[in-house]
Structure 1
Amino acid sequence: MNRYHRRFCSSVEWGKTLKSTVIPWVLREYDLGQNVLEIGPGPGLATDVLRERFEHLTSIEIDDRLAESLAARMHGTNVDVRHGDATEMPFADASFSGAVSMTMLHHVPSPELQDRLLAETFRVLRPGGTFAGSDSTLNLKFRFSHLFDTMVIVPPATFEERLRRAGFSEVAIREGKGAFRFRAVKPSA
């Protein structure tokens, strides 16, 4: 992430937005169970909110400094932070009751790697597990905040098909102002 974006994703303002708007919008209709995987927590502002909702939260972060910092901050809590690549997760098949991704998919550097992340999420979910999350849609402010930064837009119009190709069913996509939320379920049988 560029310096501005890193600062914004660590800001009190973004933390309040996650807590009051983004996370309730994404999760209000969905049950993820009590052993949940958080993909790409970054500095962990969403982690702060999510850990209050679930009995056990595992967060996987590719950036070694962010993972180390978050692990130190979450030490002694119900959060297990792992440094790793979500396109090649170090977890056994069917490890989690649910998974969540909060506004980070556009940081995965290509659609092919995004699809590998979706396939890996499917693999580590238990049958019947739900994958829920959000991402931003393209606008001028979003583009500006990503200057000299990774920004591979996830088009909501094609995301349902991508989730289905990964194996998910019961896919729901809902667009909002500057963002979209999604839910997909790993079939039970």
Structure 2
Amino acid sequence: MSNNSDDFPPPPARRPRYGVDAPAFPAVTGAAGLACGLAAGRRRPGSNAMLAAATVLLAHTGVYLHTTLRGKLRVWERELGRAGLKGDERLLDMGCGRGAVLIEAARRLPRGRAVGVDLWSGKDQSGNRPEVTLANAAAAGVADRVEVHTADVTALPFPDGSFDIVTGALALHNIPSREGQYRALDEAVRVLRPGGQLLVADFWFAARKYAAHLEEGTLRGLGPGYWYGSPLLGITLLHAVKGGRRRG
């Protein structure tokens, strides 16, 4: 019997795991849907209403989980492809979490750097810890071009003009005050070089406020693949170029 390691297939590579956004939300809607379904099965007065409620709640939960586990990854793959990266840029991801956007960006930066900042709230994303993000980067084969920092996005610890592109995915609305959200936007613009790109995805109603504050950039809905349960919680992308003009 040969002991040559070439005789055996290599172990499968571990894939990055990005967790669930705001995990309490689908847990609650899913549990409520199951409860309504059980109530409908008892064939009592109001069963039809309970069945309808169960259908809506479980469908909402399914759409939510698809977005957080698959849909948003595909959308960011598309949007980063549209950004026209050359591969040597410095990118900052605000509220990077477990690295979904950060790592997709790093794949496109073989000669660049992808930097993530977060306060690592488990309420906003399950299992949100810096060591998990770095492990995901290693699993994706991009650990050499990724770094993470514990930092508040309203006071970024970087000099002016440090980055070619700044991204953010559903991070800013977690800041409790509108003033704090606007400070984070101002910080993002501050650390961008002239001509650098800002790509911020958030709920449509939040993204409109961000665009009004910056007074520049474009807004574009990102489609059903980025609905957190329904169109009422759909995601819009704000794309701005530092020094550019508002185009709509």
CA shift, 1:102, in A, is: 1.4
1:85-164 to 2 correspondences below 5 Å: 85-137=152-204, 154=206, 156=208, 158-164=209-215
Please, which of 119, 122, 144 is the counterpart of residue 62 of structure 1? 119
Query: Structure 2 counterpart of 1:173, which letter?
Result: L
Larger helix percent: 2
CA RMSD of aligned residues (A): 2.8
CA shift, 1:41, in A, is: 1.1
| Distance change (3 Å), C-alpha of 1:68 and 1:87 | farther
| Distance change (3 Å), C-alpha of 1:84 and 1:32 | farther
Secondary structure of the corresponding residue to residue 200 of structure 2: strand
More RCO (CA 8 Å, sep 6+): 1
CA shift, 1:110, in A, is: 1.4
Query: Structure 1 counterpart of 2:218, which letter?
Result: A
1:126-150 per-position Cα deviation (integer Å, ceiling 9, x unaligned): 111110121124xxxxxxxxxxxxx
In 2: Cα distance, 1:2 partner to 1:16 partner: 15
In 2: Cα distance, 1:28 partner to 1:78 partner: 18
In 2: Cα distance, 1:128 partner to 1:68 partner: 33
In 1: Cα distance, 2:75 partner to 2:90 partner: 23
Task: Name 1:183's counterpart in structure 2.
Answer: 239
Q: How many residues align?
A: 164
Task: Name 1:18's counterpart in structure 2.
Answer: 72
Identity %: 25
* Contact in 2 for aligned 1:135/1:154 (Cα 8 Å): yes
Larger strand percent: 1
- Runs of 4+ more than 4 Å apart: 5-8
1:17-53 per-position Cα deviation (integer Å, ceiling 9, x unaligned): 12222441x3344335621101101122222322212
Structure ID, larger Rg: 2
